A and B are shown apart, each in its own frame.
Chain A
């Protein structure tokens, strides 16, 4: 399912990743984006595959999973509306480190990663705006991962 540019523009105007981006920059993103519907259970990408898209989640839930031999797929995080899926598209070798699966019906704005990288190379202002947003997502996820490593709900040691 794909939709019009106007609809994508409206969605990006309110999405947490792009809503405070200058209009001029948003327009550049819109030019390389499409709104996609993904049925529940669909795998968006798998670990090791080329990271070719930035996903800006609009509706539904996506689980970030890792296959652990003997334990199956382990859900390490979930992504909710107004959040983004993945940043491996920004940094070489541009391959996903985890699997991503729609656990509900999902609507997501998909942005072509190669085009975003090219835009960032051409215009450092755009690149910085993009990097700040990706860095914020990375920081939030890293802090969350560290807090979970601390296992604060675990049994206190005697």
Chain B
């Protein structure tokens, strides 16, 4: 969608409405990352698709776009996994049970994981990028028989930075899910792999011709992951990447998240690699 068409598709005012959610649980995932479980003060739980994001408002501090990390099956709490990287996220990661935040959304196009039915699915996550992929994986696992091989490849900085460590351990124990984790730096007691997440792709157990690949992580990582998946034989149109930009309005009006001709908030945040590849290699776009 172009800027012009995004503007013509301006949403109804309700799309900008702020709802209040109460923190029902807070979990410290890593030294700088926490997951908040949120329930609406009134009305229905938030319905969303895997890969969508919301605008989360820390009252009196500011608003940030955050990918939803919870289960997209209806009726579940809204989960946001937040890394402390700035003023608003610093506040959000320190909220406690009972605190209230504002939520707008959900916004954007998600992973559309059902496109992978009947074939293999590989999810490639880097760092905090595992959070937006978690809903996709939960959706796939809830309908596991509809997919063939499912592979999760996860790379992060150190073993201490591994997100959802308990859940990864549980997933690794399943017979119908291949999970590989690698870190950039490993202490002596680390028994896993050390190296880039791209190094996991050549040996992962999926058939590229039937694979839907879902990728989320730092842009530099996604550039190389995209190339590695293409080298492995996955068609570009079957590779999807979730982009992070400074979404502000969330509905294609302000242009803060513009990526050349694309508005990340409404055209994405999930894009096909066939559409994104060229832009990923342009500097300062």
- The contact of A78 among B155, B187, B193, B218, by CB within 8 Å, is B193
In the complex, A92 has a CB within 8 A of chain B: no
Given contacts A82-B203, A148-B184, A152-B126, contact A77 B194 (CB under 8 A): yes
Given contacts A63-B194, A82-B203, A148-B196, contact A75 B186 (CB under 8 A): yes
Within 8 A of B (CB), among A36-53: none
Nearest neighbor of B218 in chain A, beta-carbon distance: A152
A/B pair count, beta carbons within 8 Å = 73
Given contacts A63-B186, A65-B188, A82-B203, contact A153 B161 (CB under 8 A): yes
In the complex, A123 has a CB within 8 A of chain B: no
Residues of A contacting B161 in the complex (Cβ-Cβ under 8 angstroms): 153
Q: Do A80 and B193 have beta carbons less than 8 Å apart?
A: yes
Q: Do A155 and B127 have beta carbons less than 8 Å apart?
A: no
B70 to chain A, nearest CB (A): 23
Q: Do A153 and B126 have beta carbons less than 8 Å apart?
A: yes
- The contact of B199 among A64, A65, A144, by CB within 8 Å, is A144
Given contacts A144-B196, A152-B218, contact A73 B188 (CB under 8 A): yes
Residues of B contacting A73 in the complex (Cβ-Cβ under 8 angstroms): 188
The answer for the CA separation of A151 and B82 in the assembled complex, in Å, is 19
Q: Do B126 and A144 have beta carbons less than 8 Å apart?
A: no
The answer for the CA separation of A82 and B204 in the assembled complex, in Å, is 13
In the complex, A147 has a CB within 8 A of chain B: yes
Nearest neighbor of A79 in chain B, beta-carbon distance: B195
Nearest neighbor of A101 in chain B, beta-carbon distance: B188
Q: Do A75 and B203 have beta carbons less than 8 Å apart?
A: no
